[in-house]
Amino acid sequence: MEQASVVDLFCGIGGLTCGLKKAGLNVVAGIDNDVTCKFAYEKNNHAKFVDADIAELASEEVDALFSDAGIKILVGCAPCQRFSRQANKIRGTFDHATDKRWNLLKSFARYVEDIKPDIVSMENVPELRNFDVFEEFKECLVEAGYYVSYKVVDCSRYGLPQKRRRLVLLASRYGKIELIPETEIKEKRTVRDALSGLPVLESGEVDAHDPLHRSAGLTTINKERLRQSKPGGTWRDWDKTLLPECYKKPSGKSYSGVYGRMEWDKPSPTITTQFYSYGTGRYGHPEQNRALSLREGALLQTFPRDYEFFENVDRISIGTISRHIGNAVPVDLGKIIGISILRHLQERQACPITQT
């Protein structure tokens, strides 16, 4: 098989890149306009970080990153905030026509049209399927001669210790390509599998031997709420005096998506950019009275233990690093995508399909 090279659009700190490399693919570069991701991306993946706006970067510059690769693979996860379930609820609060992030998938399509990579992979939130921009992206691929498949996956069914639903699209010039089936993954991991053995922490504490194992502080009332929270339970486990005002109203009685403890023997909820905050999701530690540490969020996102997220320990920002981790494609989902691509190339022996 010819040498294959990968360019990762919207690469962030390299979750997808890391997973593809674990699968055996050669990722040569990642592109992102958030320069705070550069250190982690380059340090861990030994690939070039290109600080650029996808909407403005010329196709010729992206194509040059592949150098003399015999097989070009273009992958990426466009920022998904504008397609998420929450954004759907508040769709009237922003202008789709003028919001640059809304059109980043169109920039991805432009690269496909101009560069004509052999393989394309795109990962995003499931809600993207509800928007015209996704249909336009698919049509672009089909019209360019690609076979296209996509599915919504629950990452926990692919062996990740996290219930994270993602839309994964694969496209190939060589013929039929699909994500490997869930049935091939025999191991199913839980919160316990990912987090057990880490040192005990208090809220607001930092582990002396691992500066990434740090948790945010809690207010007095949130400490008491957490003490009364049961794994897998809700705010209904608390004394009524601890209820926020919104939960005392009829409209708030059915909402149980925040202020919860995770359960040891189940996958975690989706790790978002605010997983360090007890009040923004079900991010209470299963038994310690605190929210997840940065290290725990990274492990649930399946980053390797030796992945380096910061250059200077004295300048760690919980908000910045949690954003980097929560925005990342889980490493092991990237590995599943990489295995699927490699298997396809090996089965097809990298022979382009004949266009008629």
Angle at 148 between CA 143 and CA 153, to 5 degrees: 145
Cα(first)–Cα(last) distance of the chain, in Å? 25
Q: Is 77 a catalytic residue?
A: no
Distance from C-alpha of 1 to C-alpha of 334, rounded to nearest angstrom: 21
* Location of structure tokens 């040891």: 264
Residue with tokens 């005002």: 245
Partner residues linked to 189 by β-bridges: none
Q: Residue 123 is inside which H or E element, if any? A: strand 119-124
Q: How far apart are CA 169 and CA 122, in angstroms?
A: 5
Tell me the C-alpha to C-alpha distance, in Å, between residue 153 and each of 68, 262, 326: 34, 21, 18
What one-character DSSP code corresponds to residue 215? -
CB atoms within 10 A of CB 36: 15
Tell me the CB-side half-sphere exposure of residue 147, using CA atoms within 13 A. 15
Structure-token pair, residue 44? 């861990």
Query: Catalytic residue among 18, 37, 80, 155, which?
Result: 80
Which residue's entry shows tokens 């098989």?
1
Can you point out the beta strands (E) in 143-302?
147-154, 165-172, 206-207, 210-214
In 3D space, the residue among 75, 145, 114, 71 whose CA is nearest the CA of residue 353 turns out to be 145
Q: Catalytic site residues?
A: 80
